[in-house]
Structure 1
């Protein structure tokens, strides 16, 4: 576990190192192979989780079985904290996109901790607000932005969070299947693949297996508007 990655989570942002170390030592480690589900939509929420390695997707399913991918989270990001502020069933399912390691903290222990460190609650609410803002932006994009624009915006978001700068561009190991990428932008796999092929043909990106290299991010930004 990389302490610097863990300290990026809102749960630890207001803590000194000694307090953070004590909290981390009280949390439970979890390991998920790719494809394993941590919890299902509708399960009773009783813990929050911080990703220490790998990626987790949060998604919802419709009554006819179709899936919508709400977000993809990586190291240093936190999820499941909504159950602390609004106890009830989980609003999404959490599934490992790649081999993933997490640390979890149950709500009872977290509440006791927040009683002694109230500033942490404000940091957690700020993290929730950022995720809500991203969700609202995604809903707006579904109404006002065409599919190629949504694809460009999704790739830029993934690059900002998971990208590595290389000599030829920004390489993004997103670990998503074609179907998962289509769910992320709210479109069919065929239309998303057509947009990706068009971007590749224009020299804006290079496609790989569950990865993409952004060769011309500026063009993608203009297309995402």
Structure 2
């Protein structure tokens, strides 16, 4: 293990980084950054990086640090959090295989604005690109740079939508919206019409995504379960009735402010 300023990680010696990255291609959700690259673009991006691995609960990026490394997630799940004024932590987002993390610091040179840590049950494998190498790669590949810009815009759009949801909506509606969003972006069909959300989060962490307390998170998830919409008791959360969950998230009098897919 090699100790780094931002977290503990293991460098994985790989003879052909391009071939290594390609082996994970089919597992990345369609909306993710890496999934939108063609084979040649992925090869070029992979060549600029090194393969690293983080164990469960290890930190990739620490809030306030000056690092500019960018991590392109090949496997597992990471959660993004930031300190609150009261000394606690707010869960801001979840990133899955195929996503990029750390790109903002590479782009603007500012300190890290959030902490990113592994939250999946399995180790996280990523391509690590030093900030300068990342920028040079984006400059050399305008189409990939445009894809990255669209990815960042999508993240900002989601953050804006969440902030709007915090105002005037019940916890049930807010949680249903987050689950619909995650199911449509990261879900996979299982056992008929059920959708397994490929994100490892506890019920409390799901609640934290909507700013709910622990008791509210459990109560709200239980209400959705009793309606037959979700099953939070499995290894990963299962949406049993996605159309019904959409109806809770967006009642007839309320249409989504942005497309949810």
TM-score scaled by length of structure 1: 0.90
- 1:69 is paired with a residue whose SS is strand
Unaligned runs of at least 5 residues, structure 1:
none
Unaligned runs of at least 5 residues, structure 2:
1-22, 251-261
- Cα distance in 1 between the residues matched to 2:143 and 2:65: 29
Which of 209, 213, 228 pairs up with 1:184? 209
- Paired residue total: 224
- 2:56 is paired with a residue whose SS is coil
**Larger helix share, 1 or 2:** 1
- Cα distance in 2 between the residues matched to 1:153 and 1:205: 13
- 2:232 is paired with a residue whose SS is strand
Task: Find the counterpart in structure 2 of residue 131 from structure 1.
Answer: 155
- Cα distance in 2 between the residues matched to 1:7 and 1:209: 21
Task: Find the counterpart in structure 1 of residue 259 from structure 2.
Answer: none
Task: Find the counterpart in structure 2 of residue 195 from structure 1.
Answer: 220
If asked which structure has higher relative contact order (CA below 8 Å, sep 6+), I would say 1
- Cα distance in 2 between the residues matched to 1:118 and 1:200: 46
Equivalent positions of 1:131-210 (< 5 A) are 131-168=155-192, 169-210=194-235
Extract structure 1 runs of 4+ deviating beyond 6 A.
none
- Cα distance in 2 between the residues matched to 1:12 and 1:205: 28
TM-score scaled by length of structure 2: 0.78
Label 1:26 to 1:121 Cα distance change in 2 as closer, same or farther (>3 A): closer
- Deviations along 1:177-196, whole A, 9 cap, x unmatched? 23222211111111111111
Q: Once the 2 structures are TM-superposed, how far is the Cα of residue 79 of structure 1 from its aligned partner?
A: 1.6
- Deviations along 1:33-61, whole A, 9 cap, x unmatched? 22111111111131111111100111111
Deviates more, 1:1-10 or 1:25-34: 1-10
Note if contact 1:39-1:95 (Cα within 8 Å) is conserved in structure 2.
yes
Q: RMSD of the alignment, in Å? A: 2.2
Note if contact 1:177-1:210 (Cα within 8 Å) is conserved in structure 2.
no
- Cα distance in 2 between the residues matched to 1:194 and 1:114: 45
- 1:220 is paired with a residue whose SS is helix
Q: Once the 2 structures are TM-superposed, how far is the Cα of residue 11 of structure 1 from its aligned partner?
A: 6.3
